[in-house]
């Protein structure tokens, strides 16, 4: 790479496709983590104009890079990046929206059906050789005659809704304002939505406005036949209240692709028979993770070629 090419820092892990693409356009600096103060001398830090990351980016990190122009974050959710502080310093933050919508929606539907029809348990039953001696018990729950509430009718929420429609189930939703062109029943609060449905799917970003909003009251409103699915962020749930609701039968079952402190699953969660937990795999196919890496890299390339990023966060 020529000396005049911009320098881009990769702190920690990065997808190989992004690293290769970035390597043909930029001088790359890589560090094993985001402790850039300790890892890089001042003159290298001063040369860095872009960051490509999937790690936590806080104020100290941003302050350590005086000539930083853009932070390209891997994933649509950018809760790990202090975007407000970046904005205050005129640094653009980009994410990777849309390319993963359908993939995450597929996983959500799969998780919902797995929870209700006990697919993981039935699979274990066969693996353990128990089919030879007995029939798998009928699932207590069914998806039939349910009404599904979607918490967050954004890009992915709408893709999930299309799949729920195909299952023949009515849909309602809550977000802070009704979405133009969406015909499903709108509720102006999460609690009212939870009272009206018996499946609740959370697909909202993790931030202070959503923190622990799925709480004891919401779970109680969902009711004893209730099923809760979370594919947004673990921070959206009061996990103590969820564990209690599952333990006491306040709701029937839950499925989580995300938890608050990944990958540390609380023992109280692992002990629950009516909880299915996935290791944050909503977008985790080779094809879609490559598309996300591509978009991340193209944001940096576009920024340094034209001064405009492709998918800056709002």
* Main-chain dihedrals φ then ψ at residue 84, nearest 5 degrees: -65, -45
Cα–Cα distance, 212 to 269 (Å, whole number)? 16
Of 44, 42, 66, 62, give the one whose Cα is nearest residue 53: 62
Q: Which is nearer to ligand NAP, 223 or 234 (CB)?
A: 234
Q: Is 15 in the site for ligand 8YV (CB under 6 A)?
A: no
- Phi and psi torsions of 30, nearest 5°: -120, 140
Q: Which of residues 87-106 bind ligand 8YV (CB under 6 A)?
A: 100
Active site residue 262: yes
Q: Residue 74 binds which one of ligand 8YV, ligand NAP, none, with CB within 5 to 8 A depending on kind? A: ligand 8YV
Instruction: Please identify the residue of the shown chain whose CB is closest to the bound ligand 8YV.
Output: 75
Q: Could you list the residues that contact ligand NAP (CB under 6 A)? A: 76-77, 97, 100, 104, 152-157, 175-177, 203-206, 209-210, 231-233, 257-258, 280, 282-283
Identified binder of ligand 8YV from the candidate list 6, 50, 75, 152, rule CB under 6 A = 75
Do 146 and 200 contact (CB within 8 A), yes or no?
A: no
Out of 233, 239, 289, 298, which one is annotated catalytic?
233
The CA-based diameter of the chain, rounded to the nearest angstrom, is 72
Is 283 one of the binding residues for ligand 8YV (CB under 6 A)?
yes
> Smallest distance from the beta carbon of 246 to ligand NAP, in angstroms?
20
Task: Give the nearer residue to ligand 8YV in terms of CB position, either 261 or 273.
Answer: 261
User: How near is the Cβ of 103 to ligand NAP at its closest, in Å?
Assistant: 8
Running DSSP on this structure, what letter comes out for residue 312? Answer: B
Strand-by-strand arrangement of the 27-31 sheet: 27-31, 7-11, 48-53, 70-73, 92-94
Dihedral of CA atoms 101, 143, 267, 208 in degrees, nearest 10, equals: 50
Active site residue 56: no
Q: Starting at the earlier edge strand, list the strands of the sheet with 185-186.
A: 185-186, 171-174, 148-151, 199-202, 227-230, 253-256, 275-277
Give me the half-sphere count of Cα atoms (radius 13 Å) on the Cβ side of residue 293. 18
Provide the minimum distance between the beta carbon of 203 and ligand NAP in the complex, in angstroms, as a whole number: 5
Q: How far is the CB of 77 from ligand 8YV (least distance, A)?
A: 3
Active site residue 233: yes
- The residues that are catalytic are 233, 262, 280
Q: Which residues bind ligand 8YV (CB under 6 A)?
A: 54, 74-77, 100, 280, 282-283
């Amino acid at each position: 790479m020529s000396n005049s090419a911009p320098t881009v820092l990769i702190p920690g892990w990065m997808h190989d496709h992004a690293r290769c693409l970035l390597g043909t356009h930029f001088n790359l600096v890589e560090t094993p983590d985001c402790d850039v103060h300790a890892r890089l001398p001042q003159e290298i830090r001063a040369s860095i104009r872009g960051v490509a990351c999937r790690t936590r980016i806080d104020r100290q990190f941003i302050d350590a890079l005086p000539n930083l122009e853009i932070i390209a974050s891997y994933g649509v959710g950018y809760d790990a990046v202090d975007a407000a502080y970046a904005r205050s310093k005129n640094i653009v933050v980009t994410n990777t929206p849309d390319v993963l919508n359908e993939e995450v929606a597929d996983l959500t539907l799969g998780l919902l059906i797995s929870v209700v029809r006990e697919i993981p348990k039935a699979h274990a039953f066969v693996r353990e050789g128990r089919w030879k001696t007995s029939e798998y018990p009928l699932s207590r729950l069914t998806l039939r005659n349910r009404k599904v509430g979607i918490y967050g009718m954004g890009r992915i929420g709408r893709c999930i809704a299309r799949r729920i429609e195909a299952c023949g189930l009515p849909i309602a939703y809550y977000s802070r304002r009704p979405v133009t062109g969406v015909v499903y029943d709108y509720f102006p609060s999460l609690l009212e939505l939870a009272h009206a449905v018996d499946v609740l799917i959370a697909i909202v970003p993790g931030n202070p406005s959503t923190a622990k909003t799925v709480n004891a009251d919401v779970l109680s409103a969902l009711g004893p036949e209730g099923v809760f699915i979370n594919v947004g962020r673990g921070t959206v749930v009061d996990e103590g209240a969820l564990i209690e609701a599952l333990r006491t039968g306040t709701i029937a079952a839950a499925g989580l692709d995300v938890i608050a402190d990944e990958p540390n699953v609380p023992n109280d969660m692992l002990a629950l028979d009516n909880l299915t937990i996935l290791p944050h795999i909503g977008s985790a196919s080779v094809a879609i993770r490559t598309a996300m890496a591509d978009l991340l890299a193209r944001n940096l390339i576009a920024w340094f070629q034209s001064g405009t990023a492709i998918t800056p966060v709002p």
